[in-house]
Structure 1
């Protein structure tokens, strides 16, 4: 709307450069906020608790940053493939709903269909593909 995209693409940058720049820039901004928040949490934890596992906290911080990168990547990809901000917002919200809310229902619905539209008996083992679908979303994998 402001013409900044046309101006940017008027320079010798490819569209891939622009998308990668958006991904890096947005990840840096959110990553900085995450690091600041977790640093404050670290100070509070050091003040309140006798023991502390620095390696575990570093891994937790790194995985939190990876989760942010994944979600930012999904949203930047959606934004890059749509023609307007409104559609990008609608598809982004839709993707979030699918990944966070409906993702718990899809594996059970698929098992229901594969099982001949019936609920598996109580003693039946859950197939490996259902277990995989249960942990494939970014938030579940992070947890």
Structure 2
């Protein structure tokens, strides 16, 4: 079964992304993520550092973490294209020539990776890769 028969259509995804455009523009000017934790509590336990994301970043995470823009089967898509975690080091470069499926797969991968590695989204934001991928999707949707 292909993705078009199991998920939202391109026009619905385009409309959902259109609502994200102000968020993308604000993320372009974002100067980072706030980190919490990383200190010793009164009882002597150490608190692990973790990122706290603003509303704009959370909106992107929601859209690609289960929302309309999520690329279900993103790992299969990446594998089909010969990409593994090790090949995903230059997301900005991949964004330059990726099609819609790959762009959405990469964005979904970044967001879903956050579940296992705190700060994955923060790193993609800091490096400019998150905005580059979102810009590529904007270009693909002709917005």
* Band the TM-score falls in, shorter-chain normalisation: under 0.3
Query: Which entry has the higher C-alpha Rg, 1 or 2?
Result: 1
Q: TM-score, normalised by structure 2?
A: 0.23
- Structure with the higher fraction of residues in strand conformation: 2
Q: TM-score, normalised by structure 1?
A: 0.23
- Structure with the higher fraction of residues in helix conformation: 1
